[in-house]
């Protein structure tokens, strides 16, 4: 391959420096050929579509949707679809790249992708959301499929949206194709354990990391930013395992109780009111105060770029476990590393979701469905194995857990690229 080895850049400068810098760092340590790094820095395909939606009140609103397919060297593209007002093609590209390393790190036969629509789903009715999802799917109909690209839930989407995607795709094919999405409802081929998988994985990784440090979950103090699918499930499972969840937050703000919050009751309140606003059994605190609380483990499980350099200089947790994708900025990461605060990176910490997506896909392809204990057992085995691979390599190479995780993920993709060769 003859290139000038410059990192790929589209008119909008994709992907960002942060996404590429971890790839470059891993590539340097692994002594990869710069051609390989240049190849891996460019997404294979970026698709941007307009998504017109007929509104209930009359008229049409036009939203913008994206699907970015980063790399399919190891298998079909795989990754979630997010509905959030801040979605941009650049964000989706970075997240697609993360999915490539996450799947490779876990040993899954997938490449990375991500999709998103810039929309606030809370401002749309269920009918409008269904029309949006179906139109977005049909715009991508030639680019997705069980052997091509397999969407899943992400921020702002759930099993409900996956069912609409599956139905829209299946209607075009003329027969049911459950394998086109994962994270779908059980009634149409979903897997037991998938909904809780990301949060369950976060709990397992927290447990293993504390064990590494000679500590147990029992009595450990934990603060969690974000109470969506990931943060909410992690809070519940960690509390059940005996950890003391001293603070949580949602978009209405943070809530603190030194003795530990009653998580089942708090989640019931949030389910009922759709927000924690008005929850009186805890002390309110700001987002920043939550992130800088003294505690054993801080779990940012909301959105990207929550912990920048200045904030990282004030974090008092001993360990940061990234429930969200990309919650720590590059400067934040450097600051935490300099301060000796361990960071369990997103591509490992939240990989339980895509791992059980893979188990769902396998069950569907083999028409044989497992009980929940088997699903959770496989998750436990594969995720803890990946954690310890990352930990051991980090110890051997004296590098951060993030760099170690990237070395494993990027290394596997690069080796596969070398075996397959460049077409033509």
In the complex, which residues of this chain contact ligand GLU (CB under 6 A)? 78-80, 152, 154, 182-183, 325, 350, 353-354, 357
Question: Could you give the CA distance from residue 308 to residue 313 in angstroms, rounded to a whole number?
Answer: 9
Give least dist CB 5 to ligand GLU, A: 30
Give least dist CB 55 to ligand GLU, A: 28
Question: Could you give the CA distance from residue 358 to residue 110 in angstroms, rounded to a whole number?
Answer: 9
Crossing angle of helices 89-105/17-29, nearest 10°? 30
Give least dist CB 86 to ligand GLU, A: 16
* Comparison of 357 and 376: residue with beta carbon closer to ligand GLU: 357
**Residue 209 backbone dihedrals phi, psi, to 5 degrees:** -65, -40
Q: Check: CB of residue 241 under 8 Å from CB of residue 248.
A: no
Give least dist CB 117 to ligand GLU, A: 14
The DSSP code sequence of 46-89 is: EEEEEEEEE-TTSSEEEEEEEEEEEE-SSSSEEEEEEEETT--H
* Comparison of 201 and 332: residue with beta carbon closer to ligand GLU: 201
The residue from 78, 114, 142, 184 that is catalytic is 114
Give least dist CB 206 to ligand GLU, A: 17
* Comparison of 41 and 229: residue with beta carbon closer to ligand GLU: 229
The C-alpha angle 185, 186, 191, rounded to 5 degrees, equals 105
Q: Check: CB of residue 326 under 8 Å from CB of residue 302.
A: no
By beta-carbon distance, which residue lies closest to ligand GLU? 80
* Comparison of 333 and 346: residue with beta carbon closer to ligand GLU: 346
Q: How many helices (H) and strands (E) does the chain have?
A: 15, 12
142 catalytic? Reply is no
Exposure of 308 in the CB half-sphere (CA atoms within 13 A): 3
* Comparison of 225 and 350: residue with beta carbon closer to ligand GLU: 350
Catalytic site positions: 114
């Amino acid at each position: 391959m003859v290139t000038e080895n410059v990192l790929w850049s589209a008119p909008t400068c994709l992907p960002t420096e942060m996404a590429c810098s971890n790839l470059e760092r891993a590539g340097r340590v692994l002594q990869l050929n710069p051609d390989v790094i240049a190849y891996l820095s460019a997404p294979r395909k970026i698709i941007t579509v307009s998504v017109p939606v007929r509104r209930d009140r009359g008229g049409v609103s036009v939203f913008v949707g994206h699907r970015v397919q980063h790399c399919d060297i190891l298998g079909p593209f795989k990754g979630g679809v997010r509905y959030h007002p801040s979605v941009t093609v650049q964000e989706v590209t970075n997240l697609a790249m993360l999915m490539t390393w996450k799947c490779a790190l876990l040993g899954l036969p997938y490449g990375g992708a991500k999709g998103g629509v810039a929309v606030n789903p809370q401002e749309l009715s269920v009918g409008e959301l269904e029309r949006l999802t179906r139109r977005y799917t049909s715009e991508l109909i030639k680019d997705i499929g069980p052997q091509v690209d397999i969407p899943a839930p992400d921020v702002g989407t759930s099993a409900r949206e996956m069912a609409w995607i599956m139905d829209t795709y299946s209607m075009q094919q003329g027969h049911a194709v459950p394998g086109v999405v994962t994270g779908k409802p059980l009634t149409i081929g979903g897997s037991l354990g998938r909904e809780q998988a990301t949060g369950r994985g976060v709990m397992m990784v927290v447990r293993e990391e504390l064990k590494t440090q000679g500590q147990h979950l029992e009595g450990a103090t934990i603060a969690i930013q974000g109470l969506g699918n990931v943060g909410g499930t992690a809070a519940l499972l960690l509390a059940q395992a005996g950890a003391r969840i001293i603070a949580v937050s949602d978009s209405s703000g943070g809530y603190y109780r030194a003795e530990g919050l009653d998580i089942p009751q708090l989640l019931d309140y949030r389910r009922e009111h759709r927000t924690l606003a008005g929850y009186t059994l805890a002390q309110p605190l700001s987002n920043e105060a939550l992130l800088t609380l003294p505690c054993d483990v801080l779990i940012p499980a909301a959105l990207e770029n929550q912990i920048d350099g200045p904030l990282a200089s004030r974090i008092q947790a001993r360990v940061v476990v990234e429930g969200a994708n990309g919650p720590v900025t590059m400067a934040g990461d450097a600051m935490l590393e300099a301060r000796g605060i361990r960071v369990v990176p997103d591509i490992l910490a939240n990989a339980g979701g895509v791992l059980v997506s893979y188990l769902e896909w396998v069950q569907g392809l083999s028409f044989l469905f497992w009980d929940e204990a088997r699903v959770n057992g496989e998750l436990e085995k594969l995720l803890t194995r990946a954690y310890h691979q990352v930990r051991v390599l980090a110890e051997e190479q004296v590098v951060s857990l993030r760099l170690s995780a990237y070395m494993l993920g990027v290394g596997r993709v690069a080796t596969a690229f070398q075996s397959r060769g460049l077409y033509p």
